[in-house]
Structure 1
Amino acid sequence: MIELEARYLAVSAKAHPEASTWNGSAGEWHPAELSTPRASVRLFAAGIPCTGASKAGLSKNGLSYAEEHPDVGYLFLPTIHYIRLHKPEIVVLENTDTYRGTLSARLLRDALTASGYTFDERVVNPLKEFATPSQRKRWILVASRVGRFSWIYEAKAFASTLADYLDPEGPEDDAESATPKQVAAADKYCARKKAEGAGFARTIVGPEDLSIGVVPKSYAKRQHTAVYVRTKKSYRMLRPREIARLHGFKRDLFAGLPKTTQYELYGQGVVAPPFICLGECIARFLNGELAGVPAGQLELFAG
């Protein structure tokens, strides 16, 4: 596992003590240093940082295109180098939905094709396809060099409300509610942004609502245009355990960590159901395509 942020790597290493870990950017090591054993089926999964590809990242950093980002714009290059050097049987790439149209994505496709891979690529919407209330879309590309992989599933739209995902009203709400001063400041900011034509707006949801917007990595900063939960006094932030439910996790993965870290991990993580489905589909594919791969060997994305 390679992770730039040491706090996140520590969480992952604790959950997967058998894994080798590298703290830093993928560009800091030669791909030969990050080798994997050839004794079993190898799956390479990469979430190239979307800081320069997302709409928010482009706007915040004043970028014209994703590759212009000074810190992460080039990281598709060591990713390509690693894949071409080690040739894992399966490659899974994921990113924000806008990454699909970047130069990086085009070069990744070209490199995979030149290395003998075929691939299945799509933008997944959990709200419309995986019966999950989150609107967090992801671009996912699965490449295979052991046969043509097709990700087949029955799309199922979310058809309920947020009532089962948000905590019921309780004494915590009053203490966590925005103060009149905070509400006034947020109203003023949102009005100014609307007048500027920025399109930013605060979203306040309740149990009766049918979906939830994207919760960003920076959610702990209590940005004026974030998603909040309606209370009797005003509104409050989503709690980490609520985000876990909204993102389709069966448990609160990061309970016990500082709240800011929990928000960051959920905010730049993925919605679980699409990736659980994908992992199961890859395992079935490999069990059918490769002789001698025992059932259950690829228990992917567990948790």
Structure 2
Amino acid sequence: PLGRAKKSLGQKPELGDTGDLFLCIAALVATHLPLACVFENVPSFASSLAGQTLAHHLRQLGYHVTQTILDPHKAWAEPQDRRRWLMVATLFPGFTLQPPNTPFGNDLSEILDPPSERDRAEAERIAGSIAALRRHRERHRALGHGFGFTTITAQSSRVPTIVRSYHKINIGPFVETAFGPRLLRKHEVEKLMGCTIDCEHYATAIEILGQGVQTRVFSDVLTQLAAFLHGARGSTPAPIFFKDRRGHRRA
């Protein structure tokens, strides 16, 4: 299979653990022929063999395919710059995604907790790892490489992408405090992603959130798609609800 061949070359699979998960997805679509399908992945997936093959397969099945790159920070008023590839396939022609084109214009004061004594213990807990990252950064600088890690404050206007391995204290973003950098807390990451995870284990929750999607953005995407299908079929779409950054339930 393609994924195993790429692994043997030391490259990352294009999708899933084996690199061929898109074949299973394509088979499910061919079997059930839903009115619409929504796919998302990293931006580079659009030009990958798996991404191009999936799009071609959907067109062969009679779907109308539209693809775009979502930029939440620049177009959806989100603090995190988590860019994603999006593909929407519909059996009815004419769907066009309409981004609000509203950049994030606030700081992070409503997302990050205010300074407290709790910061001291959390900064001290990862101080050794931060020191190692700084040494690693200096070694790379001496060699002319670009390794680094990021930090944010309540006055920041952008949050770099939070990866699934964030809990391993690798590249940040870390929160600057009077006692040194600390990790983002689970509820702070939940505010950034627009959803809550019913899991108290920090590493597991962060892995789930890091692999997930920004709920507010995709709620808007699905709401637009539901409205399009309503117009195409004459049925009333069910409302889609999500929680805003303050935890309020909104349509």
SS at match of 1:164: coil
SS at match of 1:286: helix
Deviations 1:94-151 (A, max 9, x none): 0011111100111111111111111221000100011011011110000100232111
Counterpart for residue 272 of structure 1: 215
List gaps (5 residues or longer) in structure 1: 1-51, 53-57
Distance 1:265 1:121 in 2: 25
Count how many residue pairs are aligned between Structure 1 and Structure 2: 238
- Aligned AA (1:267): G
Shift >3 Å, 4+ stretches: 178-183, 193-198, 299-303
Counterpart for residue 169 of structure 2: 222
List gaps (5 residues or longer) in structure 2: 244-251
1:116 pairs with 2:62: yes
Distance 1:129 1:108 in 2: 26
Counterpart for residue 211 of structure 1: 158
- How high is the TM-score relative to the length of structure 1? 0.72
1:294 pairs with 2:236: yes
Asked whether the equivalents of residues 136 and 213 of structure 1 are also in contact (C-alpha less than 8 Å), the reply is yes
Q: 2:20 aligns with which of 52, 74, 80?
A: 74
Distance 2:47 2:56 in 1: 14
Counterpart for residue 132 of structure 1: 78
Alignment of 1:56-75 (within 5 A): 62-63=10-11, 66-67=13-14, 71-75=17-21
Distance 1:182 1:286 in 2: 50
Counterpart for residue 248 of structure 2: none
Percent identical pairs in the alignment equals 28
Q: 2:205 aligns with which of 262, 283, 288?
A: 262
Asked whether the equivalents of residues 279 and 301 of structure 1 are also in contact (C-alpha less than 8 Å), the reply is no
Deviations 1:233-289 (A, max 9, x none): 111000111112222x1x5x1255211111111111111222011111011111111
1:243 pairs with 2:189: yes
Distance 2:137 2:44 in 1: 25
Counterpart for residue 145 of structure 1: 91
1:198 to 1:142, Cα distance in 2 relative to 1, 3 A:
farther
Q: 1:104 aligns with which of 46, 50, 71?
A: 50
Q: CA RMSD in A?
A: 2.4
